[in-house]
A and B are shown apart, each in its own frame.
Chain A
């Protein structure tokens, strides 16, 4: 495969990937996933009852502040949690199989072949004392590829996909720049052309220009190879142009989930709205911003009602006592009492979206 292939946006179908036959079902379905940390001072819930689906070839982004449980959720999905974290309930259905109930031996053939993970810091994820090529070879050998020639040619192929010269198979990680290391990690995740790649803030250590170029490349590869992406980031604006659907997490819960465009154009949850308003724009008039005052609650001391209530500009009496569920609002799920049938404020208090608000049932 030549380097020019990386830029040619051939929309190859997923037909080459081994399918489990259930074409209609989503590739990944997470139902009621909860992850707890057992600490000396009690059990804290870091991921609370999250539902999530990823379809084939789809790009789903998960955003939220640090400590809201987004990385823990990813690890829970990939079955990479280590003590004291553990899944307390829920299932992760991937290609029709529940990953939660599988042991390591059963997971081994699925890992990397069907589902791979790109970690936040490539510098830490790559072995500093082994050449890139050796690390690729390790991965392939671990999954049963024996032929040296196959390993070599596939390694060169994936490097070409991410636009790195094959000469760097002989390089050590420290000889690559930050952007190239992260690309090399992505290439490694592509070794077996998996159906799902889980990415945990792969761009956050990079500069704007490198960040943008990596995102464009991920998107191009995705169109070309047809894999699905579950992408975690704290930077909402980063995924605005790339993700199909967006999941906003706050204090271990999902607070909004819907089409990316819909969430950006008309955020339903006051937290999503606040996050969006926290970004200064580089174009258009300068407007004073306030961000979201306060900080997220500690996982060990959740407020009894809505978890965002202490910081919410629209909070009213019910918010302190009633825990909101996820309500469907214009095809978007939002965890806010403003949309609940029973607990809406008597007089609409500063509607989030004036056009949608009045017509709410």
Chain B
């Protein structure tokens, strides 16, 4: 297998919270291992506060990891020290933001952001080359005629069109992985699908990978190849999207799947099941963080943190019960088994 574009090993980010006397540590992301390969869409799903956006910001170098490392095409990020390397990384891993209404500068035409990015990241192009490339990426994201669209101001565009400009900007840098943090959640239902189709097109025609961060599992299934589920700062399950959804191993994934409103099927969930909220991960003790809400909870779950184990090829789960069912109890529970 070739080197993944991005790889996280034991990625952890801790925030200090509280005042002078009661300082404590909030574990936003804890010990996350994952890879993003070429031309694939990886969905990162979970409730708000589960650490999804923190992962995106770690990958975009907005935050530095507290421990663990991120590898870009095999090279740890801290080794990309020269300006040239840094620019290369930033161009290769751009971000698309949630709110298309505040992420574009209202006083410039939309071409401004795209052309600036091109000037910075594509020094090989002259002015007319930049213009041509700007028009090309605008066409790719489904805005045509591109020459007219580029001359518009953000207020002249609908939310869906603005978000397409967001993707066009990212695409102009010739990226490897686009970090899309809830790119469609601010958009109306009727235009979301259009954006998801753009993401698929970027993967298929432009060979770009995407990290699609969302809490909308149905849309994740629609576009993604693989899915990672996060709960309270930990990756609890990851694998091919159909496997994770149809043969969920982790009880939290099962709960999430049951909670998705689907008009085509019967309701399968009761209020009791849905009760409870994800914990705040302040000064965490060892143990499974889902234990308090888990219907399958055992004594061991409260003391031993379940590691992410590959129970089937490509399908990883962090759950003692699932591990035991797969005959891997010892790997999961360690000495407690």
Contact = CB atoms under 8 A, between A and B. Distances in A.
Interface stretch (B4-12, B104-112, B266-274, B298-306): B266-274
Interface residues of B, number: 43
Contacts of B222: 280, 286, 289
A292 B263 contact: no
Given A163-B275, A217-B271, A295-B158, A281 B194 contact: no
A240 B272 CA distance: 20
A177 interface: yes
B189 A235 contact: yes
Interface string A192-222: 0000000000000001111111001100100
Interface in B240-282: 245-246, 255-267, 269-272, 274-275, 277
B193 interface: yes
B324 interface: no
Interface in B186-217: 188-194, 196-197, 215-217
B219 interface: yes
B35 to A, nearest CB: 24
Interface stretch (A97-105, A125-133, A136-144, A271-279): A271-279
Given A208-B259, A210-B277, A286-B222, A280 B193 contact: yes
Contacts of B256: 208-209
A234 interface: yes
Contact of A264 (B159, B188, B263): B263
A275 to B, nearest CB: 6
A167 interface: no
Interface string A231-257: 000111110110000000000000000
A283 B217 CA distance: 11
B218 interface: yes
Contacts, number: 124
Pick from A179, A213, A290 the residue with the most CB of B within 10 Å. A213
Contacts of A163: 275
B245 A282 contact: yes
Given A208-B256, A280-B219, A282-B257, A291 B263 contact: no
A284 interface: yes
A213 B271 contact: yes
B160 interface: yes
Nearest to A211: B259
Contacts of A240: 261-263
A282 B260 contact: yes
B216 to A, nearest CB: 8
B271 A177 contact: no
A293 B262 CA distance: 22
A7 interface: yes
A65 interface: yes
29 contacts: A65-B188, A65-B189, A178-B48, A179-B277, A208-B47, A209-B47, A210-B277, A211-B259, A212-B269, A216-B269, A216-B270, A216-B271, A235-B261, A238-B261, A241-B261, A280-B196, A281-B264, A281-B265, A282-B217, A282-B221, A282-B245, A282-B257, A282-B260, A283-B264, A286-B222, A289-B197, A290-B193, A291-B189, A291-B192
Given A216-B274, A281-B218, A295-B158, 19 more contacts: A65-B189, A208-B47, A208-B217, A209-B255, A209-B256, A209-B259, A210-B277, A212-B274, A237-B261, A237-B263, A238-B261, A240-B263, A264-B263, A274-B190, A278-B189, A278-B190, A278-B193, A279-B218, A280-B218
Please list the 3 inter-chain residue pairs (A to B) with the smallest Cβ-Cβ separation, ordered nearest first: A213-B274, A291-B193, A240-B263
